[in-house]
Structure 1
Amino acid sequence: MTSNTAPKPAYTTPAINTALYSRIASTASQPSARRTITSFVIPPRSGRAWKVPSGYVLRLSTPEGPQVGDLNLWNSNNPRERFWASRTKQLQSSHVSVSDRLWSCLPYMRPMVTIVADSLNDYGVDEWGGRCHDLLGTRCDPYVNKLLTGVDYDFHCHSNLVRAVLPYGLNESDVHDVINVFQVTGLNEEGKYFMRSSPATKDSYIEFFAEQDLLCALSTCPGGDLSAWGFGEGGDMKETCRPIKVEVFQLDDEVKILAGWVPPTPPNYQGVHGMTVPIGEL
């Protein structure tokens, strides 16, 4: 018998301290409450990695207009702990914004960052079902490009991220599924993935609170704002490519602003995985 009641989400989103993250977000309008420790611009069709200490704020912005960015996260002290896009989709949503968290992989399973501000928070759902800040897809890469076009091209987001992390002792196998910031995507009636032009402007930004010490890497996608998307180098796409600005802020009044914040710890699972009865549950 068919039910007319919409199915409930399979996973319950863990509660967060909204007052804490509102205080952190409010420091953007209080110059005395945050201090810039890192600021740089990633050129179009490029990539760069950097560190963010726990308790700091990371801001990504589009100072020259719309541009999609592919972001990877690792624990800077233990890069085996890294962002897990699939579980984040289940715990949060297919697209994320203020108060959503990006979660780490097993066996750590804890928040890496919490989104505290997003100028595109009101984008909502467009007429095609598209939403912003995408977790449905992943980075463009030279392997699928070769598969689909037969052409080599070395500046896909995957390649940009690989080059970015090499100075930090990581390699290609460490690059993983991303969050596509400033990117609008969805699923069509056939369940197929689509992308739309980025709605970002020269004033757009998204801010993350670092729940743990992070190594971050970002690629400024060679697809630019996706208004002329195509695989490979793409002459038309070059005209749509712009930089992304990266800023890292220390919260100067830490005792007051971060009151109640405790760095997250992994779930207290004993880790035996049923090995006392390895053939299966009895």
Structure 2
Amino acid sequence: MTRDPSDAQARRAVPPVICYPVETLPQPDMALYTAARADLRKTGEVLVPPREAATFEVPAGHFFRITSVDGPQVGDLNLWNRNDLSERFYSGKTRALHGTHITTGERMWSSFPTLRAMATLTHDTLGWYGIDEFGGSVHDVIGTRCDPYTHNLLKGGQYHHCCHSNLSRAVGDYMEMPPQDAETHVHDVLNVFMCTGFTRDTGQYFMKASPVRPGDYLEFFAEIDLLGALSACPGGDCSAEHSSDSAACYPLLVETFAPADGALDGWVPPPANGYDRSHGA
């Protein structure tokens, strides 16, 4: 049994310091993106079935939109550089730069050694939600994705429609390989529409019913050529549990759009990170 030190209150009262001040981050030209999205031409769509996943491609300089269509549903999103799958979404660094949840004007960053913007959020119809009284918010980069390994650890059994497995099957189909091989490409996600946070007393990750409704959407600008995979989570709106066959689940619509010719004049994809990779050697 430990005893509080005499200066415990003073130690707790030390003010926090932001780890990564973002004022010097390369900033998206939101005025340019807003002007470009005023005249978009739809180029394709994919309807992701409930408890399943699907892949899609987005060329650099185009937009993609994820929409709730039939009922409240959350999705798990993976992104890769379409031309080099070793460059993929880095949820941990995105969280460190922007916080636990992301919204309009913030970005999804890629893994080392490229560490650059992959996609910029250009519109979020749930931006009004903010942070609720429980500390919850939407579109988190703190949850890893529901997976059959943790399901087996906590509940036993073999459940195959966790988001990890959904994404593994979808990526496997895209790459023409078994899901057991494809799952090495699956990574921590952006939890689209999911409402989450950490409990104040125990610091545990929690979820609650998503505020998403049919017609709500999250829209992105592709900063580089992208391969995306989206799983319609088996938890539905995650109001009770995930990895479940009993939760009401609905499809998610992914649409891709091209801007009008000349709408992005002067824009260029972000270069790979400028670190020389010598690591002091």
TM-score by length of 1: 0.89
**Partner Cα separation in structure 1 for residue 217 and residue 35 of structure 2:** 14
Q: 2:185 aligns with which of 170, 174, 184?
A: 174
Number of aligned residue pairs = 265
2:146–2:242 Cα contact (<8 Å) kept: no
**CA-CA distance at 1:261 after TM superposition:** 2.0
1:22–1:116 Cα contact (<8 Å) kept: no
**CA-CA distance at 1:16 after TM superposition:** 5.0
Q: What is the aligned partner in structure 1 of residue 254 from structure 2?
A: 246
* Residue 138 (structure 1) aligned with residue 144 (structure 2): yes
TM-score by length of 2: 0.89
The one-letter code of the counterpart of 2:17 is K
The one-letter code of the counterpart of 2:254 is V
Q: What is the aligned partner in structure 1 of residue 17 from structure 2?
A: 8
**Partner Cα separation in structure 1 for residue 14 and residue 265 of structure 2:** 41
2:62–2:259 Cα contact (<8 Å) kept: yes
Q: 2:123 aligns with which of 80, 100, 117?
A: 117
**Partner Cα separation in structure 1 for residue 116 and residue 140 of structure 2:** 20
Q: Which deviates further from its counterpart, 168-177 or 148-157?
A: 168-177
* Residue 229 (structure 1) aligned with residue 241 (structure 2): yes
Q: What is the aligned partner in structure 1 of residue 62 from structure 2?
A: 56
**1:261 alignment partner, SS class:** coil
**CA-CA distance at 1:106 after TM superposition:** 0.4
**CA-CA distance at 1:41 after TM superposition:** 1.2
The one-letter code of the counterpart of 2:18 is P
**Partner Cα separation in structure 1 for residue 242 and residue 265 of structure 2:** 47
**1:40 alignment partner, SS class:** strand
Q: 1:272 to 1:47 in 2, by over 3 A?
A: same
Q: 1:46 aligns with which of 42, 46, 52?
A: 52
**1:122 alignment partner, SS class:** coil
**CA-CA distance at 1:138 after TM superposition:** 1.4
1:58–1:249 Cα contact (<8 Å) kept: yes
| Deviating 4+ runs (over 3 angstroms) | 1-6, 14-18, 25-28
* Residue 35 (structure 1) aligned with residue 41 (structure 2): yes
**Partner Cα separation in structure 2 for residue 16 and residue 38 of structure 1:** 30
* Residue 184 (structure 1) aligned with residue 192 (structure 2): no
**CA-CA distance at 1:21 after TM superposition:** 2.1
1:103–1:109 Cα contact (<8 Å) kept: yes
Q: 1:153 to 1:258 in 2, by over 3 A?
A: same
**2:227 alignment partner, SS class:** strand
2:72–2:210 Cα contact (<8 Å) kept: yes
Percent of paired sites with the same residue: 43
**1:121 alignment partner, SS class:** coil
**Partner Cα separation in structure 1 for residue 70 and residue 174 of structure 2:** 29
The one-letter code of the counterpart of 1:8 is V
The one-letter code of the counterpart of 2:250 is R
Q: What is the aligned partner in structure 2 of residue 204 from structure 1?
A: 216
**Partner Cα separation in structure 1 for residue 242 and residue 196 of structure 2:** 15
Q: Which deviates further from its counterpart, 242-251 or 258-267?
A: 258-267
**Partner Cα separation in structure 1 for residue 174 and residue 127 of structure 2:** 33
**1:123 alignment partner, SS class:** coil
1:85–1:103 Cα contact (<8 Å) kept: yes
**Partner Cα separation in structure 2 for residue 51 and residue 146 of structure 1:** 32
* Residue 106 (structure 1) aligned with residue 112 (structure 2): yes
Q: What is the aligned partner in structure 2 of residue 215 from structure 1?
A: 227
